[in-house]
Structures are given as structure tokens and as C-alpha cells.
Homo-oligomer: A and B are copies of this chain.
Amino acid sequence: MKFILSIAALSAGSVAAFAPSAFMPKSLSVASSSSLNMALADGVKPIIIGVAADSGCGKSTFMRRLTNIFGGDVVGPLGGGHGTEGGWETNTLVSDLTTVICLDDYHINDRNGRKESGLTALNPIENNFDLMFEQIAALKNGDTIMKPIYNHANGTLDTPEKIEATPIIIFEGLHPMHDDRVRDLLDFTLYLDISDDVKLNWKVQRDMEERGHSLESIMASIEARKPDFDAFIDPQKKDSDMIIEVLPTALDKDDKKTLRVRCIQKEGVSDFSPCYLFDSGSTIEWSPAADKLSSPAPGMKLKYGTEDYMGKPSQVVEMDGNFDNLQELVYIESALSNTKTKYYGELTQAMLSLADAPGSNNGTGLMQTLAAFAIRDLYEKKSAIAAKALNEKAAAKA
């Protein structure tokens, strides 16, 4: 798991927006316990979200954004405290409403086993999709499961842990959309697509500039991993409902830090209508007025348009650049529609309340927050449908 570890190290860098950095489970001062999990209302099934990301990176920040929007304020590793006391660790994060499960826990072999097989964890053969399917199906039905644990620290498979169904369950990892049976169980799918250029920029910044590694060794580690990544991970983009693409800025070709982030939203997804800028269905490029939004060089540009994404009609919102003052985001929020917020300014408020989280000054934080609102909206639509069915059932009995 060398690459995952190096990415995890990377992700502590200031530019790694989807990285756990400021909110690694171990650094949590308030730990939750499973007793805090909100019980599922009668007749309401969990909503299951798949998040494909290039490693374990991103779950903490995204979880914080989700929890923040859902109103929960206690987030931490399952069975809080065990990680530092009991000698074993969990990859599972829980809050009042949400459980985030890392798909690394479904690795078939431990690190030694993969040394024998000669395969990377990116290879589907190294992952137990039968068990994954079975357990996601059980959770979706509201049942409790005993999920294996893959120990990232020492590369072993630890004693399974008990997972109870919460209203929202997020499966995050390398292959949430790889297996058709699993994918069919997912209510919404998100792919975090960090471009090769950005991965390289991040690695260079961290491993070369700060740690003195050679560019050759960095390139070699990326190249070694690329065939399996391209074969098994990347194709999942095609079937994702939303893809958050992180690219180098297009505003200055010499700028290696500023990010251009595209949120690709598929059309025709059940209970999901894409967010847009100014005017639905058109194509727009927008450089906000400098006196309303202050942004450091190379400036700020937003785009919106419809496009064919890998053969599927999609709507894309893009932000290129950083903002200096997060409060001014309300100006951009006022130009966005279908954000699934409940009141004017909620998007800005959500970003402001996590101003310290990685990516809060650029499009990664914005698009993660848009994804979080979309998931809340999906959950509420599903709950409303379930509640209506229950009422009708009760009325029929009375």
C-alpha cells in the first residue's frame, strides 16, 4: 500500500483539498460512540452513496461537510477511543446521521498476501465484491453487519467491527462502482477525479520540494500504478452520477498550485437535478466583478455548460481560482441555481463554518458542498416518500 500511504502523506499539504489533513481521525478531540447514531425512522431505508476516490483521501473533509449540512456535530471513528487505546483501528467514521465505510476493508489479502499474489489493491481480484454486495444490501435493508477491517498501519486484516445502519451510508474507496451488483444498490455515485497533473504537482510539492525525493522516483511511483488505475478505477467515472474533476488552473500555465475544479452532473439521474450558473442549459463563462469578489492571481473564472461526458449528457459547473474572502462566496451563490439549499446564503454559511477545512478557498470545497446538498436533498426526498407510504398504510388500517 505504498501509494496510498504516500497519498495520505501528500494529503496533509495545504492544496490537497480532498485530503484528511486537518481532520484525521486520530486528531479528533471529541469522539463519538455508536450510541449516538440516530435510529432510522420506521419504514425509512438508508440512502447509500458511493464515493470513488483515488485512495482513502478525502473522506474526512467530505464527511465534515456532509455532517455540517445535516446538522450533526459529532463526528469520529467508530467505537471512539479504541484507535488510541485498544491497539487496533477502524476506518469507519460515524456521525449522528452518517456512516462512512472505507472499501479498503474489503481487501482479500493483507499486505503480505499481496506480496505473494503480486497484484496491487487496485486490482479487483484483490477485493471481495461478494461480501461487499452482501453487506451493502444488508445495510440498505436496515440490518447490522460485521464488517472486516483492513489495518492501514501494518497492512493486516483485523477483527471485524459491528456496523449499524444509519440514515446515510457512504461507501468510499477505490471500487464502489466496479461491481454491477454493488453499483445497483447505490442511490447516488460520486467520483473524485484528481487529474494526473495535479497529482504530480502535489507529489512534487511534497515529496520533492519538502522531502528531497527525486523527480524520477516520483514519476516512477506514479507510472507504476497507472496501468491498474486506468484499467480498474478510472472506468468508474462513466457510471458516476457526479464527477468532481480537479485540474490545474487554466488561467496561468505556470501556476502549479491553483486549481480548476469541474463538477460534472449527469442528466436523467433519479431525484437529482443539476446545479447551474445563471441559465439552465446554456453555456457560460463568467469572471466575477473584482469589486464583488477578491481573488489572488491568477484570478477567478467560472463556467457552466452542457456537454457529452463519456457518452452521457451532462451539465458542468466549473470554478477556476481561489477566493480571498470566503464571505464573498455569497455573490457566487446568488448566481447558482438548483444548489438544493433551503435558504439564500446556506451554501456560503456551510463553507464558512468549515473555513479551515482543506479546499474551502477554492472549487474543491464548493463542489464537495454542492455534492453534500445534493445528497441531503436525495435523502429528504426518499424520507418524504417513505413517510407518505407509512401514512397511507396507517390510514388504510384505521
Contacts and interface: CB of A to CB of B under 8 A. Distances in A.
A26 interface: no
Contacts of A285: 284-286
A279 interface: yes
Interface of A: 278-292, 305-306, 335
Contacts of A286: 278-279, 282-285
27 contacts: A278-B278, A278-B279, A278-B286, A278-B335, A279-B286, A279-B288, A279-B289, A279-B335, A280-B289, A281-B289, A281-B290, A281-B291, A281-B292, A282-B287, A282-B288, A282-B289, A282-B292, A283-B286, A283-B287, A284-B284, A284-B285, A284-B286, A284-B287, A285-B285, A285-B286, A287-B305, A289-B306
A305 B282 CA distance: 18
Majority SS at the chain A contact face: loop
Nearest to A301: B283
Contacts of A292: 281-282
A313 to B, nearest CB: 12
A79 to B, nearest CB: 50
Q: Which of A287, A291, A292 has the most CB of B within 10 A?
A: A287
A284 B284 CA distance: 7
Given A279-B286, A283-B286, A285-B285, 5 more contacts: A278-B286, A279-B289, A281-B292, A282-B286, A284-B287
